[in-house]
Every structure is written in structure tokens, then in C-alpha cells.
Structure 1
Amino acid sequence: MCCPVPSRVNPLTRHFIERRSRRKLRDDVLDFILEFGDRARASGITHVTVLERDLPATLRDSSLARQARGWIVLLSDEERLVTCYRREDASRFIRRKSKRRMFAERDQRV
């Protein structure tokens, strides 16, 4: 494991540092995801992923946009970076996850 990189605004958890190293998420790609990614609340945590259709036109075909595709970064309520992972269907996965939670909360209220 390499030495931790000082965080920008978001403090890093030890788990995040280990996962980022193992999964080879580069700092510039992480910064891109945090700056341009869409945030969705699901399962009690904030999921951040880049949706190319929501990027400015000048960035859609960029190398960073391609590298950020499929990454999901999880943030705690305190904006700490918790973990990161890749999925081919990242945006669809998060939508499904948040819908399941919404329906579960609705069923509990009834």
C-alpha cells in the first residue's frame, strides 16, 4: 500500500485508502468524480458516480470522463470518503438501490 495522499476537502478512511490502492483509482480520476459526479442517497450513504450525459459537452469525450465511467465513490454523512468500487451499470445500480430503499420506507410507514 502506498502512503496516503493528503485529502483535498474530504477526509479519507483507512478502508478507502486500501480500496483505492487495490482497485487502482487514480487521484485525478477521483477528483473528477467528486467534482462532476452526481450524488444519490441510497442505503444510508451518498453514492457519487459520473453520468456522461450530465457532463458539460467539452468534457464528455475527455480521457478523465472515460476513466471515471463506472466508478462509484461512497461518502458518509460527514463527507468522508468511505470506499470505492466499479460497476459497468453504476448509474442503473444506484437508481435501483435508492428505489428499493424508498419502497421499504413507504412500507414501514403503512
Structure 2
Amino acid sequence: MKKSEESLGAFWDEWKKETEELEKSTQEMVEKIKREAKEKNKILEERWDAINKYKVKVTKCYLVQIFNENLNEIKSEYSFEPTKKDAEAVGYKIVEQLVDEELNSPEIK
């Protein structure tokens, strides 16, 4: 009986030792995770502050595209004119410039 009590005592001593090591290891992992989380939060806060310094403004604009007779795009440009008709006028001005360049003719004003 005495031998089995010693064996049982050794088992519980080993169990207690392993439990303490696991608790210590777990605590170290928790502390490491907390440190990493604080670092990531700091980075995210800095990033958010930097993002908030900028403002985004969406302006209505028209994409003016110039195509040749084969419907291949020759040139494209954005127009911030207030109406579609005004944007088309920008497109026709671009066409005039392209034709003048193609024909090597001086601009007509």
C-alpha cells in the first residue's frame, strides 16, 4: 500500500508541476497577444487619423471618347462641363485638333 501511495503522490506532484507550467505558458501567451493587439490598435489608430485628414469629393464628369471609323478608340478625356452637350462640344474640339494634326493644317480660330 505504501508503494502505491508514493506512486500516487509522485503522479500528483508531476500533475501539479505540469499544470503550473501550462498556466505560466498560457499567461505568457495571453500577455504576448495583448502586446500585439495594442501595437496593432496603435497602428490602426494612426492610420485612421491619417485617413481622416483627407476628404473625398465626387464631381460629376463625362468621359469623352473619340473613335475612328472602325470604332477603335483614338483618344479619351474627362470633361467637367456641366452638361452632356457641353461635354460633346469638348469632344468635337478634340476631333478638330486631331484632324488639324492629321492634315498638318494650321488651327482655325
TM-score by length of 2: 0.25
Choose 1 or 2 for highest CA Rg. 2
- Structure 1 or 2: more strand by fraction: 1
Structure number with the bigger relative contact order (C-alpha 8 A, sep ≥ 6) is 1
